Chains A and B, each alone.
Chain A
């Protein structure tokens, strides 16, 4: 009888030991749950250059783009002397209602582009950088060198596969 009790007791503790092991295993494996920050974690706009037939075109004159800030002499260059490209990327402000951009050509001719948008805080995890997503509501420009600029995609987020603007330049800005 005593032997039987001892065996039962051993079985209980063995079972408990096994349970601790399985528990430890599950708990340690739960540490594998990783950070889910997206690899592409930048938010910017893509401008695709088009010709009069709405086909892909290239930038034929040197173009620089900078931020215009009222009352501020210093301007930050976003695109420096680009030429021969079919598209280019420009950052978008976190919380401005309208971004004002200066498109400058090699002959000092300058166009102003206004991009109106909404700004929504975006969050992935406390381990991932905070950012904003946007919905472009309208775009307009002066027309010294720019012929037309239209919205192709309103949502600006981590998806960098689709262009947001189709822009057509005049033949000789």
Chain B
């Protein structure tokens, strides 16, 4: 384990603890698993959303996602959700290691958000939620001009179309603000943790579609434009 990984792990644990503390406090205060008794019907429609963070990453860096979501609204309290996206990485050339890495694959997440606000029908929402994610992807890794330092021979370091998969989970804390009419804007912070994965004999993969830059666990964020339908 590297020192950097230790710092990252500590930061992840700190954020996770804060999220859990916050959600636990909210849960205790609200009893959010109980359906609020009022005259509002159970089915309140659905919403579609698009994530701008992954889109911005895609435009500004060598990896990112196009991601959309479909979310049901049950009594403004429970929000079953399906998120689908296309994750891409095209790390053309690393200045230090001279490695190239390429992948492009769809992914999905399913889960549920709970609105923990006391007044649930205002249109503004504070969420805690969980997700299960899966992607099946292929990666290309290569290094041109790879030279053995002792034998001084030029080595072919190239892996193409290596099939990989990953299952992962996410803990979500998010906020939605009603802006105008059906339009909402919202953030969600996510703690992602890998459940199982396979990269063949290669060892690891770098970018995993929908999960991000590989680590045993990572923090992430989405900024969503949401339309209530």
A residues apposed to B, CB below 8 Å? 11-13, 15-16, 18-20, 22-23, 25-27, 29-30, 32-39, 67, 69, 76, 78, 91, 93-96, 120-130, 132-133
| Chain B residues touching A, majority SS | strand
A131 CB → nearest B CB, Å: 9
CA distance A70 to B33 in the complex (A): 75
Known A19-B177, A26-B190, A124-B204; contact A32-B8, beta-carbon cutoff 8 A: yes
List 27 A-B pairs, Cβ < 8 Å. A11-B124, A12-B179, A16-B175, A19-B176, A20-B187, A22-B173, A22-B189, A26-B188, A26-B220, A27-B189, A29-B11, A30-B218, A30-B221, A32-B11, A34-B2, A34-B8, A67-B150, A76-B150, A94-B153, A123-B141, A124-B204, A125-B206, A126-B91, A126-B100, A127-B94, A128-B97, A133-B203
Q: Which residues of the other chain, B, contact A123 by a CB distance below 8 angstroms?
A: 99, 141, 159, 202-206
A-B contacts besides A15-B175, A36-B2, A94-B155, 17 pairs, CB < 8 Å:
A12-B179, A13-B177, A26-B15, A29-B15, A32-B11, A34-B4, A76-B150, A120-B201, A121-B141, A121-B158, A121-B159, A122-B202, A123-B99, A123-B206, A126-B206, A130-B146, A132-B155
Enumerate B59-116 residues with CB–CB distance to A below 8 Å. Answer: 91, 94, 96-97, 99-101
Q: Which residues of the other chain, B, contact A19 by a CB distance below 8 angstroms?
A: 174-177, 185-187
Quick check: B151 and A121 within 8 Å, CB to CB? no
A172 CB → nearest B CB, Å: 30
Quick check: A95 and B148 within 8 Å, CB to CB? yes
CA distance A13 to B179 in the complex (A): 8
Out of A15, A36, A93, A127, which one reaches B151, CB within 8 Å? A93
Closest B residue by C-beta to A92: B150
Closest B residue by C-beta to A37: B2
B: number of interface residues (CB 8 Å): 59
B130 within 8 A of A: no
Quick check: A33 and B150 within 8 Å, CB to CB? no
B43 within 8 A of A: no
Quick check: B177 and A129 within 8 Å, CB to CB? no
Closest B residue by C-beta to A122: B203
B5 within 8 A of A: yes
CA distance A29 to B215 in the complex (A): 14
